[in-house]
Amino acid sequence: MGCSILERNYSCSFGEIDLIFSDSEGVICFGEVKFRSDNSRGYPEEAVDLRKQRRICRTSDHFRSKFSLDESLSYRYDVIAISGDEVEWIKNAFEYAGY
């Protein structure tokens, strides 16, 4: 996998991000982890709706500002969907969802 975890459960007044990591290519990834024991209530990735995406993006803005990370770096928003024993890593699950 080649990832380096930068933060776990990063939180601020805007919200929380489950994982912030750097991938093998140096991209800063903001990862939302969603778990469902089964799919009777829908797939885990479906829980990352536009409202949740906006909250994650505002929180990522705070993180980037706090650590003085500029626009020259590459950023990505991923979802790690866990359903029962299956894990799906959805890279680039959504684009930056501004205010």
- pLDDT one digit per residue (tens) for the chain, 99 residues: 589 999 999 999 999 999 999 999 999 999 999 999 888 888 999 999 999 999 999 999 999 999 999 889 999 999 999 998 899 999 999 999 976
Q: Are 51 and 4 a contacting pair, CB within 8 Å? A: no
The C-alpha atoms of residue 49 and residue 59 are separated, in whole angstroms, by 15
Which residue ranges form the domains of the chain, and what is each CATH number? Answer: 4-90 (3.40.1350.10)
Specify the pTM: 0.92
- Residues paired with 34 in a beta bridge: 81
Q: What secondary structure does DSSP assign to the chain, as a single string? A: ---EEEEEEEEETTEEEEEEEE-TTS-EEEEEEEEESSGGG--GGGG--HHHHHHHHHHHHHHHHHTT--TTS-EEEEEEEEETTEEEEETT-S-----
